Structure 1
């Protein structure tokens, strides 16, 4: 039974990762065909696309009565994004912070993490809580789109190279449109199907090993659903397109709370219960990590290699703590 659960989980993880990548390619290409500016694609479309596995997992977990997986996945994914992925990128090569919108994303990330903690203090996330988060998410995306116009030329060029505007003949080619809409549809189907298998396997493993749904969501599911962000960031690090990577990571961390958890809360009958462990440890930790980003980002306009190594080390210590004391 355990082996079968592991196979189901790994199969779901592969499908959801591949599905998210296909979905993201289709969505990004359609956005370029619609003449959406490359920097807007990078800061909004891509951030939302890489967060869709979390949405699929959250809705699936709620449907199976595993609300702690939905909450744990969001808190865990944001810790992976900032401490592990951003830290790993800086550890490989010091991470300059050139994007003007980083200031907006950083402040919003702090607000989102603190607000999530405050909304959870009554032990649940209601439909109204979800509506508040979703509205704030829409406001955030609107501000980011407006702020992106003020980015310097070299930053705009970096996004232009990553999301190249297609030639005119492609915009008029119905086959190109049809192909990318097919990619988008197939990506959505694969992501939903993969999420179902991933959650089924995770719940079964949790029962066998005596692990809580929260710990499963905070660890293997969070790491698994962060695969798109990890891949995007590592590739961007070695290609020297660091602004694309940072914008994606911070944007995803905000969207995970405001958009993803907001939608999940809205579509949950009643409310999502928040366990005491998540409420009093993981959510405060996620808020603390967001707050720590302020002095790190403001210090000298970059995340140094030393700071990156510290971030990764803290995440490893967090994982060890979860596996030793929370299982």
Structure 2
């Protein structure tokens, strides 16, 4: 997307044009997310596939595209720190910021079938990746890197996960969803969702979904570029722009789609999208980046060379452990409690604040 809409297009724009492009990108994001959510829920209804599984696979594959594009291009350009930081930072943003906001907005449903399957893949992939990084650093020190073999292995595991997700979807459809009564009421046949999809062909639904995804990606790209130029002109330090705007911006599609899903009474899409995006950020984004070129774990030119190991990975592990604890509770209650959003948001805010402090040291 950066090649189609390059940064230099925005560098010389007047203030008024930058503000206009920012406003228009927000409108495009909202409309794109609207179409994407309607399409995903419509296809799920037509095929009898649980929306949480659609969110964990199809929707998350689409909304993770910005992270993958940014990380692969950064890796090829020699900025491995940006590639790794963007992927892991997106896990923190997805589970901390997006899921935290979702919890505070509404009572999110807990589908035990999915949370005890895709949920464990989310937790396991993040923890195993962190373990691999620390083992490599212990063995090789400042020369440690994530090689292409690890990248290819991650992509193979990703393919296996997607294949298994299809099998789980079939099992889930046969067994029936394990959800709270409130969710069952929201998705009962004959409701607004049925009325929305009634009379619309699958071709129209798929077309709306693809168009919506493109609008989300284009809107996110324009918004990131516009806000980044505005921040630099206002004198905001580059490190702050990198650790907040870029990381937040690449997770913006998930945030917009998640909020739209809640507003349209499809909260299961948010839960599935966050879990699926976390898995894809580890297996897909880092896997594709490491397959393109080996990724050094230590930036020897940085003021804190091992910041990825001392900040990013610990923050990700804290988020994943908290998320897993909340899943245990949610599976018993049938839903995620609203207060779960507070500690998740606190970890995200703490991560951003520490990134700023350490970046200035």
TM-score bin, normalised by smaller chain: 0.7 to 0.9
Give the match for residue 244 of structure 2: 219
Give the match for residue 88 of structure 2: 75
Count of residue pairs the alignment pairs up: 316
Change over 3 Å in CA distance of 1:217–1:251 after alignment to 2: farther
For the residue of structure 1 that corresponds to 2:295, the secondary structure is strand
Give unmatched runs, 5+ long, in structure 1. Answer: none
Q: Does 1:47 align with 2:50?
A: no
Q: Does 1:147 align with 2:168?
A: yes
Give the match for residue 350 of structure 2: 317
Cα deviation for residue 322 of structure 1 reads: 1.8
Q: Give the TM-score normalised by the residue count of structure 1.
A: 0.76
Give the match for residue 277 of structure 1: 307
For the residue of structure 2 that corresponds to 1:88, the secondary structure is helix
For the residue of structure 2 that corresponds to 1:146, the secondary structure is helix
Aligned ranges 1:1-327 → 2 under 5 Å: 4=11, 14=25, 37=49, 39=51, 40-121=53-134, 122=136, 123-148=144-169, 149-150=171-172, 152-153=176-177, 158=187, 170=201, 183=211, 190=218, 194=221, 198=225, 211=238, 217-266=242-291, 268=292, 270-275=293-298, 276-299=306-329, 300-301=332-333, 302-327=335-360
CA distance in 1, matches of 2:162, 2:152: 15
Change over 3 Å in CA distance of 1:312–1:159 after alignment to 2: farther
CA distance in 2, matches of 1:179, 1:210: 41
Q: Give the TM-score normalised by the residue count of structure 2.
A: 0.69
* Higher alpha-carbon Rg: 2
CA distance in 1, matches of 2:123, 2:322: 9
CA RMSD across the alignment:
4.4
CA distance in 2, matches of 1:80, 1:14: 21
For the residue of structure 2 that corresponds to 1:310, the secondary structure is helix
CA distance in 2, matches of 1:9, 1:139: 43
Cα deviation for residue 27 of structure 1 reads: 8.9
Change over 3 Å in CA distance of 1:56–1:198 after alignment to 2: farther
